Chains A and B, each alone.
Chain A
Amino acid sequence: MIKKTKILAISSSGGHWIQLNKICNQLEDQFDVIYATPGAQYESAKEGGRKVYAITDASADSKLNLIPVTLQIISILIRERPNTIITTGAAPGVMAILLCKLLPIKTIWVDSIANVKVLSRSGRMVKNHANIVVTQWQDLSDDKNIFYRGSVL
């Protein structure tokens, strides 16, 4: 059996996580997808036998928490050695992309559909670091650095 390409899907909770799920549920047929998200939805996230790592919740308002999140991501990367990471944001996704920049891991940023008029603040932070940045709004795409190819809704 051919081993499927491994993807680490990571996001903060709430809307970011729901969007990540919508995308990755479809990718699961084709890839070996593992997940990382803050503990809140951990039990339900595991439904269907998926592999989900709990990470600390960090945001722009809780910068100190970026330290444990960063260590947790490093530990997941060492254990799982994914080929690609995909994130819908926010802070944990930024950290994952910055870390993977140093490693031979492909990075995909999908900006939240909630950001209609401008790319999210975290999206702007990773714009020059992620291998590809995807917006869910045609108007925000320049088709050079930021791409639009559909959306979760």
Chain B
Amino acid sequence: MIFVAVGTQFPFDRLIENMNEWAANNDEEVIAQIADGEYIPQNIKWERFLDAKQYNQHIKDASVFVSHAGMGNIISARHHNTPIIVMNRQFELGEHRNNHQADGVTWMAKLSGVYAAPTQAELYTLLCDTSALQVVSNNDTDNLDKLTNFLSGYIETGRID
């Protein structure tokens, strides 16, 4: 199963249209969370919003997670060791209030198991061979430990070390 999610803030019809078209030509179950999109896909199962429990279950069950370039989804995908393909919203197409998703996608794609697909062609290429999408399980919490140690020190002492 491929899980597709566009987040809760904005619709992302371009991604849903792309996945609907892909599903028409491929024998693979696709489930999508489409938010307030105007476009209603015909070839995939969809919900506008899902509760957090169901959302996480889909991420866990999916062979591939196709998502907008939202940080939360990337963190969740890594948590469940599910490979994630991200398509960024484009400010130029009126898909977000600014272009930070385009900036973000560049470094996100450097993470293990995160693949960037800014365009339909790139998305379809990645979906051609989903078995090639791999997550190297990442239990490295050095950066997070560094951040939380710093914050707890600051909370305790008010000093910036």
A-B contacts counted at CB < 8 A amount to 117
* Number of B residues, CB within 8 Å of A: 40
Of all chain A residues, which has the CB nearest B147? A150
Check A151 against B100 for contact (C-beta < 8 Å): no
Contacts of A86 in B (CB 8 A): 151
B158 at the A interface (CB under 8 A): yes
**In the complex where A114-B101, A152-B143, A153-B111 touch, is A43 in contact with B52 (Cβ < 8 A)?**
yes
Surface stretch bound by A, among B13-21, B71-79, B115-123, B124-132? B71-79
Whether, in the assembled complex, B160 has its beta carbon less than 8 Å from a beta carbon of chain A, the answer is yes
| B contact residues around A22 at 8 Å (CB) | 75, 144
- A residues in contact with B104, CB < 8 Å: 114-116
B8's partner among A26, A27, A40, A112 (CB-CB below 8 A) is A40
A59 to B8, CA, bound (A): 12
Chain B residues with Cβ under 8 A from A150's Cβ?
Answer: 142-148, 150
Contact yes or no, B147 A152, CB < 8 A: yes
Digitize A42-76: 1 where CB-to-B-CB distance is under 8 Å, 0 elsewhere.
01110000000000000111000000000000000
- Name which of A41, A114, A115, A134 has the most chain B CB atoms within 10 A of its CB: A114
- Judge whether A44 and B53 touch: CB under 8 Å: yes
Q: Quote the shortest CB–CB distance from B81 to chain A (angstroms).
A: 14
* CB nearest neighbor in B for A117: B103
Name the residue on A nearest B52 (C-beta).
Answer: A44
Question: Quick one: given A59-B9, A60-B97, A151-B143, are A26 and B71 in contact (CB under 8 Å)?
Answer: no
Q: How large is the interface on A (under 10, 10 to 19, 20 to 34, 35 or more residues)?
A: 35 or more
Q: Which A residues are in CB contact (< 8 Å) with B155?
A: 5, 7, 27, 31, 83-84, 106, 108
Q: Kindly list chain B residues whose C-beta atoms are within 8 Å of the C-beta of A134.
A: 147, 150-151
Complex contact B152–A30 (CB within 8 A): yes
For A136, the chain B residues whose CB sits under 8 A away are 147
**Distance of A121 Cα from B98 Cα, bound (Å):** 10
A36 to B: closest C-beta gap in Å: 16
Q: Are B111 and A23 in contact (CB under 8 A)?
A: no
Query: Are A116's CB and B52's CB within 8 A?
Result: no
Contact check, A15 vs B71: say whether CB atoms are below 8 A apart.
yes
How far does the Cβ of A114 sit from chain B's closest Cβ, in whole Å? Answer: 5
Chain B residues close to A by CB (< 8 Å) = 7-9, 49, 51-53, 56, 70-76, 78, 97-98, 100-101, 103-104, 106-107, 111, 142-148, 150-152, 154-156, 158, 160
Can you add 10 more A-B contacts, CB < 8 Å, to A153-B75, A153-B78?
A: A5-B156, A15-B75, A26-B144, A59-B9, A86-B151, A110-B151, A115-B100, A121-B98, A150-B142, A151-B144
The 3 closest A-B pairs by CB, nearest first: A150-B146, A15-B72, A150-B147
Q: Name 9 interchain pairs, CB-CB below 8 A, sorted by A.
A: A14-B7, A15-B75, A19-B75, A27-B151, A44-B56, A59-B9, A108-B155, A147-B150, A150-B150
